[in-house]
């Protein structure tokens, strides 16, 4: 089923799918505040219609399980910004519809299997003349551009380490659900160009984001995929600062990860997650901050280190995604699988409000 376009002032060139989720709503609200008028999309006509009416926008509705409905939803649309996760379950029908209809594909995933699967469809995207760019938000715009900056500083780099930390904010339900989906897969690093399974939180490193060293642990962040395509560096690790109790839980839970594959256990955890607030409040986001750190090393041992600060991750996602939408609508959309740094340049991230980068070594 597809709802009528409605408001003639809506820019039907782009569709925001998953508009009623936490991050989708944030992007929709920020778009309107900035004079942009996307068509809102989703699977629930009631929820999408209420949000569209609130913002004075048009809406289209289609379930991803219905290819004909998704194709109709994308009719006349130049690009879709896909915000309905966990993306491991939703990216494939949307990108296949984009390939059929010649629609540019953006999403805000940080899930490495999605990046790898879409990279494998580069040839199809080029043949269709569309850009496929996952990770158009905090996952992975800042870290991808930081990785490319480090490669520029040290072209001979063979090893890359990236690290992330969030201050004074908390995760949305969608982010937590995505983490639940991928926890049984364990951790990932890239070793000699190959994605390699490692234990969750398998390595600890003390990292200085600018206020003194703090412990961080390895996580399977999307850059184990995207940074490789952006830089060609064959050995990549990504770290995150996590609360002490969560670090201990990850370590203790390695031998119990099979429990997360049990449907009943997963349903219980999912119900618990869905009872939480949708995500941080506007006030919490305003107080929040994202910190990034990166290090590149080459075979002789030369080393460069850079850091970055920016708004909280959800604000970062909305700002980055809207800038990318504007770039694509202006015709800057190289065909094929892209990363943010490949498509828009190493310094693209500096266009985002509140982002500061510094070289410390």
pLDDT in tens, 146-177: 999 999 999 999 999 999 998 756 666 566 55
10 or 137, which is more confident? Answer: 137
What percent of the chain is modeled with pLDDT above 70? 83
Q: Which domains does the chain carry?
A: 14-137+316-345 (3.40.50.720), 141-312+351-359 (3.30.360.10)
Of the candidates 295, 189, 193, the one whose C-alpha atom is nearest the C-alpha of residue 234 is: 193
pLDDT in tens, 274-321: 667 777 888 888 899 999 999 999 999 999 999 999 999 999 999 999
pLDDT in tens, 44-80: 999 999 999 999 999 999 999 999 999 999 999 999 9
Whether residue 255 has pLDDT greater than 60: no
| Residue 46 · residue 111 · CB < 8 Å | no
pTM of the predicted protein model: 0.90
Q: What is the mean pLDDT of the chain?
A: 89
Q: Taking residues 260-283, what's their average pLDDT?
A: 68
The C-alpha atoms of residue 190 and residue 203 are separated, in whole angstroms, by 14
């Amino acid at each position: 089923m597809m709802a009528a376009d409605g408001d003639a002032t809506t820019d039907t060139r782009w569709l925001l799918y998953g508009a009623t989720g936490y991050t989708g709503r944030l992007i929709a609200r920020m778009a309107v505040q900035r004079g942009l008028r996307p068509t809102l999309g989703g699977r629930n006509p009631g929820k999408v219609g209420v949000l569209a009416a609130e913002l004075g926008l048009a809406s289209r509705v289609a379930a991803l399980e219905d290819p004909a409905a998704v194709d109709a939803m994308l009719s006349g649309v130049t690009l879709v910004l896909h915000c309905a996760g966990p993306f491991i379950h939703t990216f494939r029908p949307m990108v296949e519809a984009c390939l059929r209809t010649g629609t540019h594909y953006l999403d805000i995933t940080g899930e490495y299997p999605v990046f790898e699967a879409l990279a494998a469809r580069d040839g199809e995207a080029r043949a269709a003349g569309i850009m496929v760019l996952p990770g158009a938000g905090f996952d992975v715009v800042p870290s991808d551009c930081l990785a490319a900056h480090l490669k520029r500083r040290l072209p001979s780099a063979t090893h890359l380490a990236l690290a992330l930390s969030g201050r004074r904010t908390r995760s949305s339900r969608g982010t937590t659900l995505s983490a639940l989906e991928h926890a049984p897969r364990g951790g990932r690093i890239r070793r000699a160009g190959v994605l390699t399974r490692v234990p969750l939180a398998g390595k600890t490193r003390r990292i200085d984001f600018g206020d003194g060293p703090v412990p961080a642990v390895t996580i399977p962040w999307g850059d184990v995929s995207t940074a490789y395509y952006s830089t060609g560096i064959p050995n990549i690790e990504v770290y995150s600062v996590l609360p002490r109790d969560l670090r201990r839980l990850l370590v203790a839970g390695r031998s119990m990860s099979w429990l997360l594959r049990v449907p009943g256990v997963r349903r219980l955890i999912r119900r618990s997650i869905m009872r939480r607030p949708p995500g941080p409040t506007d006030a919490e986001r305003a107080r929040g901050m994202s910190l990034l750190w990166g290090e590149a090393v080459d075979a002789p041992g030369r080393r460069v280190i850079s850091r970055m600060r920016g708004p909280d991750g959800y604000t970062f996602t909305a700002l980055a995604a809207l800038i990318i939408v504007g770039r694509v609508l202006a015709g800057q959309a190289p065909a094929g699988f892209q990363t943010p740094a490949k498509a828009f340049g190493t310094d693209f991230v500096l266009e985002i409000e509140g982002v500061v980068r510094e070289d410390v070594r």
